Amino acid sequence: MIDLNDIEQIEKFDKSSQLKIMSSWSNLVKEARTNSLSFTLPSSYQWRDKVIQYQSPTNVLICGMGGSAIAGDYLVQAFENELNIPVIVNKTYNLPNFVDEHTLVVCISYSGNTEETLARFHEALEKKTMIVSISSGGLLEKFSQTVKTPHIEVKAGLPPRSSFPLIYISLISIFEKFGLISGIEDQIKEAEEVLIELASSYSPLTVIENNSAKKIAYELFNTLPITIGHTIFSPVAYRSKCEFNENSKIIALSEVLPEQNHNGIVVWDNSNKALNHVSVLFIRDRDEPKPIKIRVEETKKLISSRTEKVLEVFPKGKTILAKQLSTTYLIDFISIYLAILNEIDPTITTSINNLKKVLKRKLNLRGKFEDKITKG
């Protein structure tokens, strides 16, 4: 087995230095906040013969896929008690029928070339909605420049999933500009401070005995991990599934409480199945609401009777953003160390890249949208 205290072994598989990128997450938070503070909303934009006014929206659609869309899931959970209008995360090719000129459509694609997101940008134009976009360049930026819709450009050159702090903080700042949320500066500051503190704890240079990310990676090795979250950690649980898929290249599942207690909990009733190859990772909070705390404890008790690998992680910090980002940070590190234990490069996503080539050859939707938008 790979020794995670051996830097040479780590570097042998982490060829694109994802661990080094992880160490800079606090800088990415700061950079995104500084960058997005200079973002301004225009009074309007024109598409064909129609002038679309920017105003207070009656609903918001956050459009993206994968590591770009997950920021919307985080925001909806983080600010559900503050948001006074419906906010929906859309992860498909099309917009819902209710979308109109009173809807704010936020299109997010780290690369700027995600075809589903480009499709929704074009449809948002056709529906005469307010549009804001986030990318590191690509066609999404080109489209926004052509139509003169507001766009936040973030740092390029990262694996899309590693750009999460850039996307999330930029998205939060857009909601702030529209007056949909407020008082976020202290939350962002605490999140930045927590990430600085944790960077050394999870660093490849920190030995296993003092490194919880490495310890948990060993615990999860050769298992099928199920991550269970709740409330503000619901999207963190889902992201963990995605990170174990993309980085570690393993099958992984995620569940959310209390919903899991109405279906997923029953799989543990089957005493005829050996489940010790399954590991369960609970994302906890020391400030859990009492109903959630009871559900977590009872669910953990049941699962512990059926499998040996039941683990818990707790957030750092006091604010919602710090708690979300600190648990995400830990799980991202775990997934990279788990990739190294599996002796694979965490960055490469061959099947995704191959599928994109097939879609480009058979559909060429990017080219079609580029013609439609740039030619008006």
Please check the confidence at residue 284 and state whether its pLDDT lies above 90.
Answer: yes
Query: Over the stretch 86-134, which tens digit does the pLDDT of each residue have?
Result: 999 999 999 999 999 999 999 999 999 999 999 999 999 999 999 999 9
Q: Helix crossing, 234-246 with 66-78: angle to 10°? A: 160
Q: Under CATH, what is the fold of the domain 24-186+354-374? A: Rossmann fold (3.40.50)
From the list 110, 65, 54, the residue with the least C-alpha distance to 92 is 65
Query: Over the stretch 9-31, which tens digit does the pLDDT of each residue have?
Result: 999 999 999 999 999 999 999 99
Here the tokens at position 119 are 């499709």
Query: Over the stretch 143-186, which tens digit does the pLDDT of each residue have?
Result: 999 999 999 999 999 999 999 999 999 999 999 999 999 999 99
Residue ranges per structural domain of the chain: 7-16+203-341, 24-186+354-374
Catalytic residues: 246, 262, 356
Domains 7-16+203-341 and 24-186+354-374 agree in fold: yes
Q: Helix crossing, 234-246 with 320-341: angle to 10°? A: 20
Mean pLDDT of the chain: 96
CA 223 – CA 103 distance, rounded (Å): 44
Task: Please state which architecture CATH assigns to domain 7-16+203-341.
Answer: 3-Layer(aba) Sandwich (3.40)
Sign of CA dihedral 239, 242, 248, 253: positive
Distances, alpha carbon 138 to alpha carbons 110, 114, 118, 143, 151, in Å: 9, 9, 10, 9, 12
